[in-house]
Amino acid sequence: MKDLTQEEWQEKLQNDKEAIILDVRTDEEVEDGYIPNMKHIDIYKGQGFINEVEKLDKSKHYYIYCRSGKRSAQACTLLDQMGFRETNNLLGGFSEWTGETSED
C-alpha cells in the first residue's frame, strides 16, 4: 500500500493504464458525490465486501478512497493480504478531494 496525497493520486492515476478507482464508502456517502469512473464496494458489508473484492483482477492497480482515508487504508491492507499487486490509499479521502466529482 502507498499513501498518496491528492496531487500524487491524480498525477499517478492519469498515467496508469492499469488503474481502477475503488470507493469503499456507504451508499449514502456515495449519493453525496464521488470520483468519476469508480467502482463502489462498501467496506462495511464485511464478508460481502470480501466476496466482491475476490471478483476483481488482482493484477490491476487499485486507487482506493473513503470519506477520510481510514477505511480505504484498511481496504488497501486487506487487498494486499489477498494478493493484489498494487494498492494506493487517498490521504484525506473524499472529504478533502479537490479533483473532479460526479453526482447521480
* All structural domains of the chain: 2-96 (3.40.250.10)
Helices (H), the chain: 6-14, 27-31, 47-53, 70-81
Confidence band, pLDDT 50/70/90 cuts, at residue 14: very high
Rg (CA), the chain: 12
% of the chain at pLDDT higher than 90: 95
Indicate whether this model's pTM tops 0.85. yes
User: At 67, is the secondary structure helix, strand, or coil?
Assistant: coil
Single-letter amino acid, residue 80:
D
Q: What is the pLDDT of residue 104?
A: 65
Question: Would you please indicate which residues are annotated as catalytic (active-site) residues?
Answer: 66
Segment 53-66 shows an average pLDDT of 98
Question: Is pLDDT at 19 greater than 70 in this prediction?
Answer: yes
Task: Summarize the confidence of residues 65-94 as an average pLDDT.
Answer: 97
